[in-house]
């Protein structure tokens, strides 16, 4: 037990040193010579202080990202090796004889413990964004969001885990296939209700109050053959100074949403470009393609997880205090493998997302015919979010679902 934990902590420590070396000493984030002096060069649209702050903030934010994910893996390993997952299962069985309620009790203990250990990193991320002027939330509002997030995830986990382990116990050889089949309507349902049930738990949404701007946006939507009746804005200024807009939901619940910070800091023609970009996602059905892609990845992930769990339990089950895959205390191993596989697949997922975002940029330019507004919009996005114009390669492939600001502005400058 001590050997397993020592090796895990040692590997994590070496990984941390590598990430620090890579982000702070090795990675080159300077602008290539051929783009010096162009509108893609941050020296042309950021003050020296803004450029320095964007580099500092991005480095720290990237460091937290790369530390947080394997830190979760380390937590799951320690929970398994110390036998805590087995104890949680025993407590659940001692509390009630009902299998469904045992899952409720077990997940409460597991979720609470994981939250206790991950909350410090979340707080550091909050304080970092606060110090650099990105986050505007008070501590009480931040804590409220964390509590809401805990209970939303907990309720979803109870539903998913209850069904998952019922399938494992009933169909040990093919549980992954049946779980995948059930995941399809579940994902579609969540995507459908997210704009009207989940998102309003965190923020207030309402139709765009600037009716003159809404008229212009709806005229743009009509030009794109989109049957839109409203554009929604959300009060994000009480939480952040960053800018954003997005498309969410499917079917009649689909929405185009603007952050109020975007409305406050961007000019009208810049907002129209942003809206045209989001309309591009709608026209090209990127949300539907995204759902289909995730469904395919879930199939591959569940199949691989089934194989890996059985192999790991057969070889190291005694060390992990797991007798077979049917036991509820094997859940941390399931979550560990799912997280590992998700992280491994993230470069592919992000590459597809960057392709879609580039296609939406091109669509927006073809619709608005205004490259100057597009360039200035991206420059303001950089300034407001203190984003790196040219992030390190590893950061790009593991974190960026959008092309970099450098790539987006260079494309606009060369677009014909």
Residues at the binding site for Zn(2+) are 277, 281, 357
In the chain, count H helices and then E strands.
14, 4
Distance from C-alpha of 60 to C-alpha of 58, rounded to nearest angstrom = 5
Q: Is the separation of the CB atoms in 333 and 320 below 8 Å?
A: yes
DSSP, res 31: P
Query: In angstroms, rounded to a whole number, what is the distance separating the alpha carbons of residues 340 and 70?
Result: 8
Selection from 231, 227, 229 nearest residue 272 by Cα: 231
Report the half-sphere exposure of 368 (CA within 13 A, side-chain side): 28
State in Å, rounded, how far the first CA of the chain is from the last one. Answer: 63
Cβ(397)–Cβ(347) below 8 Å: yes
**Is residue 182 within 8 Å of residue 234, measured between CB atoms?**
no
Of 41, 72, 327, 361, catalytic: 361
In the residue annotation, 278 being an active-site residue is answered as: yes
Q: What strands, in cross-sheet order, belong to the sheet with 255-259?
A: 205-207, 232-234, 255-259, 245-248
Distances 126 to 6, 72, 234, 381, 413 between C-alpha atoms, Å: 30, 18, 20, 20, 36
Which of 278, 327, 356, 407 is an active site residue? 278
d(CA 376, CA 366): 17
Report strand pairing: 232-234 vs 255-259.
parallel
Q: Are 272 and 220 in contact (CB under 8 A)?
A: yes
Separation between Cα atoms, residue 226 and residue 217, nearest integer Å: 11
Lookup: tokens for 253: 């619940």
Binding-site sequence positions:
277, 281, 357
Residue 412 is encoded by which pair of tokens? Answer: 């606009």
C-alpha span between 308 and 179 (Å, rounded) = 16
> Which residues are identified as catalytic?
278, 361
């Amino acid at each position: 037990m001590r050997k397993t934990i020592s090796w895990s902590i040692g590997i994590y420590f070496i990984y941390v040193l590598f990430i620090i070396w890579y982000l702070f000493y090795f990675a080159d984030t300077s602008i290539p010579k051929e783009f010096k002096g162009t509108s893609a060069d941050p020296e042309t649209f950021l003050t020296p202080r803004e450029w320095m702050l964007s580099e500092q903030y991005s480095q720290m934010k990237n460091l937290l990202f790369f530390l947080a994910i394997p830190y979760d893996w380390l937590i799951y390993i320690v929970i398994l090796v110390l036998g805590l997952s087995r104890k949680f299962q025993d407590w659940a069985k001692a509390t009630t004889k009902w299998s469904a309620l045992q899952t409720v009790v077990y997940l409460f203990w597991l979720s609470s413990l994981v939250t206790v250990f991950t909350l410090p990193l979340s707080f550091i991320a909050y304080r970092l964004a606060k110090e650099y002027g990105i986050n505007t939330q008070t501590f009480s509002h931040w804590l409220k969001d964390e509590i809401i997030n805990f209970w939303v995830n907990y309720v979803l986990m109870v539903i998913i885990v209850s069904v998952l382990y019922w399938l494992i116990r009933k169909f040990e050889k093919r549980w992954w296939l049946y779980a995948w089949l059930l995941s399809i309507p579940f994902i579609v349902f969540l995507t459908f209700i997210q704009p009207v049930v989940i998102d309003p738990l965190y923020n207030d949404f309402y139709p765009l109050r600037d009716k003159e701007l809404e008229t212009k946006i709806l005229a743009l939507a009509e030009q794109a053959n989109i049957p839109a009746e409203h554009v929604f804005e959300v009060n994000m200024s009480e939480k952040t100074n960053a800018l954003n807009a997005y498309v969410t939901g499917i079917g009649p619940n689909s929405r185009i949403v603007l952050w109020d910070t975007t409305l406050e800091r961007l000019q009208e023609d810049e907002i129209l470009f942003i809206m045209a970009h989001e309309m591009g996602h709608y026209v090209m059905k990127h949300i539907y393609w995204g759902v289909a892609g995730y469904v395919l990845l879930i199939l591959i992930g569940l199949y691989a997880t089934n194989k890996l769990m059985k192999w790991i339990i057969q070889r190291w089950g005694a060390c992990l205090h797991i007798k077979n895959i049917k036991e509820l205390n094997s859940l941390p191993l399931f979550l560990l493998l799912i997280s590992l596989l998700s992280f491994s697949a993230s470069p592919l997922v992000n590459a597809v997302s960057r392709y879609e975002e580039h296609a939406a940029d091109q669509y927006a330019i073809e619709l608005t015919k205004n490259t100057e507004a597009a360039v200035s919009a991206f420059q303001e996005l950089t300034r407001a979010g203190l984003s790196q114009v040219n992030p390190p390669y590893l950061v790009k492939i593991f974190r960026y679902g959008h092309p970099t600001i450098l790539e987006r502005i260079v494309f606009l400058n060369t677009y014909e």
